[in-house]
Amino acid sequence: MDAAAGIGMTSDRSRRRMVDMLRHACVADERVLAVMQELPRHAFVEEGIASRAYEDTPLPIGHGQTISSPTIVARMTQLLLEKGVPGRVLEIGTGCGYQTAVLARLVKEVYTIERIAPLLDKARRHLRDLRFYNVRFKHRDGSGGYAEGAPYDGILCAASAPSLPVELLSQLAPGGRLVLPLGTDEQWLHVIERTADGHLDERREAVRFVPLVPGVA
Ligand code: SAH
């Protein structure tokens, strides 16, 4: 067996263990589990820490940012898909692009926004290497969303704002869902659904995210 096949097999086994761990963490959506079983999370982090890619932990991706833990990625995706698979999704906080890739396997179109240019470039490379063609990358401050691509059936934000950015809500299609952390010292994951005459806001679980930072870098 050559070395590359060996690495392939090891990561396949590590991913199976990760998926078992996700099931124990109450991730029940088989669509999400199947995608995470298949996607090489180790390809999204630096080689030096690739051996830790299937542990349930955030890992550094440079520029003071982290790749979200597998549990958080799985849970947020599961919440987004709870009432059906959205067609077009906006992601805020691309980071290394792992969550982007999970979304892109599940939905038709993904728009993803990152404020740190070198991170966006890295994510673009990762998704190109894995042959994703349904993702549009934008370098900008995502607090205002991306009106040019609206309306979205789903919006997922990977950085915490002190309060709900109203533009995000206005870019949701009726019935669309917005999954995002809110708060500063204490943060909660919220699921906000746009209804015919307003919106429903559910607070789900305590979380820890990097802050949503204004401006670009
Ligand atoms: N899903 C990513 C998470 C990265 S951490 C991953 O798994 O890799 C959150 C990301 O949000 C960081 O890359 C950070 O630079 C970005 N971010 C923070 N504030 C932002 C803003 N206002 N607009 C766009 N991206 C932002």
Q: pLDDT averaged over the chain?
A: 95
Quick one: residue 133, left, alpha or beta (phi over 0 = left, psi -120 to 50 = alpha)?
Answer: alpha
Give the separation between CA 152 and CA 170, rounded to whole angstroms: 10
- Joined together, the tokens standing for residue 60 give 């550094």
- State yes or no: is 68 an active-site residue: yes
Give the separation between CA 154 and CA 176, rounded to whole angstroms: 5
Q: Is the CB of 53 under 6 A from ligand 1?
A: no
In this prediction, residue 1 has a pLDDT band, given cuts at 50, 70 and 90, of very low
The residue nearest atom 4 of ligand 1, judged by CA position, is 95
Give the burial class of 68: count Cβ atoms within 10 A of its Cβ; 0-12 exposed, 13-18 middle, 19 or more buried: buried
State residue 51's pLDDT score: 92
In this prediction, residue 209 has a pLDDT band, given cuts at 50, 70 and 90, of very high
State residue 115's pLDDT score: 98
Question: Poorest-confidence range of 9-13, 35-39, 97-101, 118-122?
Answer: 9-13
Report helix, strand and coil shares of the chain as percent, to nearest 5. 40, 30, 30
Reported as a single tens digit per residue, the pLDDT across 55-74 is 999 999 999 999 999 999 99
Reported as a single tens digit per residue, the pLDDT across 132-185 is 999 999 999 999 999 999 999 999 999 999 999 999 999 999 999 999 999 999
Of the residues 68, 69, 163, 170, only one is catalytic, namely: 68
Give the separation between CA 105 and CA 31, rounded to whole angstroms: 10
Reported as a single tens digit per residue, the pLDDT across 8-49 is 667 899 999 999 999 999 999 999 999 999 999 999 999 999
Instruction: Report whether 138 contacts 146 (CB < 8 A).
Output: yes
Domains in the chain (CATH in brackets) are 56-207 (3.40.50.150)
State residue 8's pLDDT score: 64
- Asked whether the predicted pLDDT for residue 6 surpasses 70, the reply is no
Instruction: Report whether 135 contacts 110 (CB < 8 A).
Output: yes
Instruction: Report whether 37 contacts 43 (CB < 8 A).
Output: no
State residue 10's pLDDT score: 76
Beta bridge partners of 62: 65
Q: Is the CB of 110 under 6 A from ligand 1?
A: no
- Asked whether the predicted pLDDT for residue 5 surpasses 60, the reply is no
Query: What radius of gyration do the chain's Cα atoms show?
Result: 17
- Asked whether the predicted pLDDT for residue 7 surpasses 80, the reply is no
State residue 24's pLDDT score: 96
Q: Is the CB of 67 under 6 A from ligand 1?
A: yes
What value, to the nearest 5°, has the Cα angle with vertex 173 and ends 172 and 176? 75
- Asked whether the predicted pLDDT for residue 192 surpasses 60, the reply is yes
- Asked whether the predicted pLDDT for residue 81 surpasses 90, the reply is yes
Q: Is the CB of 122 under 6 A from ligand 1?
A: no
Ligand 1 atom with least separation from CA of 214: 22
Q: How far is the CA of 115 from the centre of ligand 1 (A)?
A: 7
